[in-house]
Structure 1
Amino acid sequence: MIVPTPIGNMEDITLRALRALRQADIVACEDTRRTRKILERFNIKAKLVSYHEHNERQRTQWLLGILREGKVVALVSDAGTPGISDPGAVVIKEAIKEGIKIEALPGPTALIPALLLSGFPLEFFSFFGFLPRKRKERKAYFERITKAPPPVALYVSPHRIKTDISDLLEALGPVEGAVIRECTKVHEEVVRGPLNVLLEWAEENEPRGEMVLVLYPSCHEEDKERQVDGNGWLCKAKELIDKGEKVKDVAKRIQEEYGIPKNKVKKELLHMNTEERR
């Protein structure tokens, strides 16, 4: 059973989740210490085993053996729903391959409340989890983000929020966004604004706790293709031109905000204008 646990407020745990934890023969958890606190809070006694990113593949085979015996395993993460940017996907996939029945319980997740609190339209949305750390992989992520249906949601750690927002600003430009921090907790906070404003907030406040970053890129489809490789400033320049500003004024503003040489801005705008006339 995939059992979601509270992401901050203990009152968010469901009756079904409590019953699943009581009935389980084994509770596989990301951190036994954190899960034990939840069990103690609700007077639940269960056998705990660790299941985290460092032992996921090795532990999966052991859990499959338990499941083959007909025993019940409850899979939990430190907070939220296992398998979504948390350990769990491997054992779920392998259990399905073997025809083992899986129950996925509904419950807490930071993603959906964050999307709602962002205030952006939600006919569609895209989710990218945590940004990878390697430069090549990040570049690929940014390319995918520019083509994804907005809003785009990402998980952000307090140790990397400034780096992540800075890199996203370079790749996408000052698109509208929202940071939802400590969702469901006492000190829940929502900060809305363009990415450059969110970066200033992060640099000034050194935010702590778990966070979700929601973005709403609003460029035209033909412009999105040109955002890759850190050229998100083109979208901003095009928007300013569409509003009636002169090319020289736009070039000056882009240079001030992004550090892009004015001659390069003018050249790209001229190129875009030529393409539109064809």
Structure 2
Amino acid sequence: MTAQQMSSFASHDTGTLYLVPTPIGNLDDMTFRAVKTLKTVDLIAAEDTRNTQKLLNHFEIETKQISFHEHNTQARIPELLARLEQGESIAQVSDAGMPSISDPGKELVKAAIEAGIPVVPLPGANAALTALIASGIEPQPFMFYGFLPRKASEQKAALTALAEEPQAVIFYESPYRVAKTLTTIRDIFGERQAVLARELTKKFEEFIRGSLSELIDYASAGARGEFVIIVAPGEKKAKAPSDVPVATQVQTRIDAGARPNDAIKAVAKENGLKRQQVYNAFHGIQEES
């Protein structure tokens, strides 16, 4: 497979798919470019046309809309692609924030790319990053997960896989499940520092910082609003020493194709030993007391 190159701003025979972020609360966060794009495209593909119409009315945008949400994605894509291929430009928006980020969008983007149609992303509001930079938790590296599965067994499996990740993890959650979700996170991750960000960019924006247990107490009291949960990385745990002699561990790696020096270095790191100790053990060199 060869790499596919496409300049978003080069001349082309098709229309363009614009990915336009919308405010996550405060309408003043709408960018000039976003307003201009929504005014000049031929069509707006909206997650909820009723919700988007309020935004369009506020900015005096008269562009026509078409619904594009998780329940009609497959039926809509051929229609939208046909219009793009005929030269129309389409702006895709979700109810709030970035299209595709915990919202519809990725399927249309993939289909447009496969059809050779330019895709132009606009920068703008995003709840996860907005919360992260004000959280007080080390922002790099981080992992954005979004909404966890609702089914208890699937949620626990997802969290178990994330428990050892050496970075902050960002989740989205509704007010109806936030206390239960925080409890499950604590049960699997253990006690950690975390942050709840609620009603971002709105009048009652709030950050609640503390341990997971403290956040559970807060959420259990009847929290309102849409939440971003940011969980700090766990402390690195020292590995339990292996019952297998280090000389045997080195030989096993060598038998698998590793070079002796690389095998010695890896075993030393895994066992929390100095390289010279492992070298001496492997070569049967008696250490001086």
**Smaller-chain TM-score range?**
0.7 to 0.9
How much has 1:111 moved relative to structure 2? 1.0
Match of 2:91 in 1: 74
Of 75, 79, 82, which aligns to 1:58? 75
Decide whether the 8 Å contact of 2:140 with 2:167 is kept in 1.
no
Of 205, 210, 216, which aligns to 2:226? 210
Instruction: Describe the shift of the 1:178–1:3 C-alpha distance in structure 2 as closer, same or farther (beyond 3 A).
Output: same
Match of 2:139 in 1: 122
Q: Matched residue of 2:149: which SS? A: coil
Decide whether the 8 Å contact of 1:126 with 1:149 is kept in 2.
no
How much has 1:216 moved relative to structure 2? 0.4
Instruction: Describe the shift of the 1:101–1:221 C-alpha distance in structure 2 as closer, same or farther (beyond 3 A).
Output: farther
Amino acid at match of 1:142: L
Distance 1:164 1:185 in 2: 24
List, as ranges, runs of 4+ consecutive aligned residues in structure 1 with deviation greater than 3 Å: none
Decide whether the 8 Å contact of 2:196 with 2:227 is kept in 1.
yes
How much has 1:222 moved relative to structure 2? 5.0
For residues 208-243 of structure 1, give each alpha carbon's deviation from its aligned partner in whole angstroms, at most 9, with x where no partner exists.
Answer: 2211000003221557xxxxxxxxxxxxxxxxxxxx
| 1:27 correspondence with 2:41 | no
When Rg is computed on C-alpha atoms for both structures, the one with the higher figure is 2
Match of 2:199 in 1: 182
More helix by share: 1
Match of 2:160 in 1: 143
Amino acid at match of 2:111: E
For residues 152-172 of structure 1, give each alpha carbon's deviation from its aligned partner in whole angstroms, at most 9, with x where no partner exists.
Answer: 111111121112111111111
Amino acid at match of 1:38: L
Q: Paired residues, what number?
A: 225
| 1:45 correspondence with 2:77 | no
How much has 1:123 moved relative to structure 2? 2.4
How much has 1:276 moved relative to structure 2? 8.4
Q: Matched residue of 1:163: which SS? A: helix
Deviates more, 1:131-140 or 1:186-195: 131-140
Instruction: Describe the shift of the 1:129–1:222 C-alpha distance in structure 2 as closer, same or farther (beyond 3 A).
Output: farther
- Which structure 1 segments of 5+ residues have no match? 224-274
Match of 1:2 in 2: 19
How much has 1:10 moved relative to structure 2? 0.4
Of 30, 33, 40, which aligns to 1:16? 33
Tell me the C-alpha RMSD between the 2 structures: 1.6
Match of 2:119 in 1: 102
Q: Matched residue of 2:134: which SS? A: helix
Amino acid at match of 2:109: I
Distance 1:172 1:118 in 2: 19
Distance 2:166 2:149 in 1: 20
- Which structure 2 segments of 5+ residues have no match? 1-17, 240-270, 274-289
